[in-house]
Amino acid sequence: MTNEGAADGELPPNLKSLVHKPSSASKMLGTELVGYDQAAGWVDLAFNPTDALTNKWGAVQGGMVAAMLDDALSLAAGLNLEWGQIVPTLEIKISYIAPARPGRLLARAETLKRGKSVIFTEARLTDSDGNLLATASGTSSVVTLKPKT
């Protein structure tokens, strides 16, 4: 079942946090939730990088593209976490296919395999015309935060 347009109360905690209290990095990247399917383990995001994130040739700097894909991978990995768990990235591999330009970019990230302590994910970044810009694969660790005592 696709949860696109689900009421806020139905959002998984990680997506609720993205919508209501995004990180400074997500704000800088212009991250926006487009859709998700919690059961299937995928999330669709839009990014809106500005000229401030470009290199001297006008392309979005590669590190910013990596940050977008890392954000997407993390959100897919975290769709089915329990409250108090996080999924820090252990490893990420980015393949740059074509230069990303400022404007609306779209990413789909999905969970490939989830174990007890490790989650494997993949993502694709395209421009608004559907042209493939970059792909990523990631490995995340499931970490349960200890309550403060």
Per-residue pLDDT tens for 62-73?
A: 999 999 999 999
Domain membership of residue 112 (yes or no) is yes
Which domain CATH number covers 138? 3.10.129.10
Domain membership of residue 149 (yes or no) is no
* pLDDT score recorded for residue 13: 85
pLDDT band for position 5 (50/70/90)? very low
Quote the pTM value: 0.89
In this prediction, residues 42-50 reach a mean pLDDT of 97
- Ramachandran assignment for 20, one of left (phi > 0), alpha (psi -120 to 50 degrees), beta (any other): alpha
Domain membership of residue 126 (yes or no) is yes
Per-residue pLDDT tens for 52-63?
A: 999 999 999 999
Strand partners for 46:
32, 106
Domain interval for residue 44: 8-144
Strand partners for 35:
44
Strand partners for 109:
43, 123
Domain membership of residue 61 (yes or no) is yes
Domain membership of residue 95 (yes or no) is yes
* pLDDT score recorded for residue 22: 87
Side chain identity, residue 43: V
Nearest to 138 by CA among 71, 80, 79: 71
* pLDDT score recorded for residue 41: 96
Total count of domains within the chain = 1
Per-residue pLDDT tens for 104-148?
A: 999 999 999 999 999 999 999 999 999 999 999 999 999 998 776
Domain membership of residue 3 (yes or no) is no
